[in-house]
Structure 1
Amino acid sequence: MDKGKSLRFIYRTAIIVENHRKWGPSMHVNHVQPPLSPPLKSPPPAAERLEQAFLEEMLKYCGPKPENGAFGGGIGEDQFGSFLTQEYAAVMAAQIDLGFGKRMDLQ
């Protein structure tokens, strides 16, 4: 150990000893609260879920089709394309009101 390192070690040890004298043998740590989780979203009303299901079925037949060839998604697109269609339907149901709730007294 060279002289500079040993002096730094002695200085750090002196600071630790001084803090020990000042604060006592044990340190007091404040309780740390865990971060708050985001509020849970309430489920959409029955009318909106019905509209979403209707739009999802409609998009299955007349919505965007998978690409073929070099720019296609392959087997992954075939397997997970339904999730994308479901999300498209959810966004559309949130943006437009087809009036299913009024017609069927779901609201």
Structure 2
Amino acid sequence: MPEVPVAGAGGANALLNRLYVSQMLQFSGAFSARGNFGGGAGEGQFSSYLREEFATKIADNLQILPQEMLSE
């Protein structure tokens, strides 16, 4: 996962939300290979990039984690 610079508390909250959503998407299997039609290692790398981009868009539009968790 690429390093993302975090500036201030708002940046840390956004990063935590994005990482949380990314893990939820990973464990849901939404971007996993489809049986015998998988594309190998290239598909695995692309799907992780795609999952990170989806997580970023979702986290930008939603507050996933409760604010009490983020302010501690």
**Smaller-chain TM-score range?**
0.5 to 0.7
Counterpart of 1:53? 19
Of Structure 1 and Structure 2, the greater helix share is in 2
Distance of 1:54 and 1:88 partners within structure 2 = 12
Distance of 2:65 and 2:20 partners within structure 1 = 12
- Relative to the length of structure 1, the TM-score reads 0.48
Per-residue CA deviation, residues 57-86 of structure 1 (Å, 9 max, x unaligned), is 11111041222334x333310233211111
Counterpart of 2:35? 68
Q: Are 1:81 and 2:47 an aligned pair?
A: yes
Gaps in structure 1 of 5+ consecutive residues? 1-42
Following TM superposition, where does structure 1 have runs of at least 4 consecutive aligned residues deviating by more than 6 angstroms?
Answer: none
Q: Go from structure 1 to structure 2 and tell me whether the alpha carbon gap of 1:92 and 1:80 turns closer, same or farther (over 3 Å shift).
A: same
CA-CA distance at 1:87 after TM superposition:
0.6
Identity of aligned residues (%): 27
Q: CA RMSD in A?
A: 2.2
Q: Count how many residue pairs are aligned between Structure 1 and Structure 2.
A: 62
* Greater C-alpha Rg: 1
Distance of 1:46 and 1:87 partners within structure 2 = 17
Gaps in structure 2 of 5+ consecutive residues? 1-6
Distance of 1:57 and 1:93 partners within structure 2 = 12
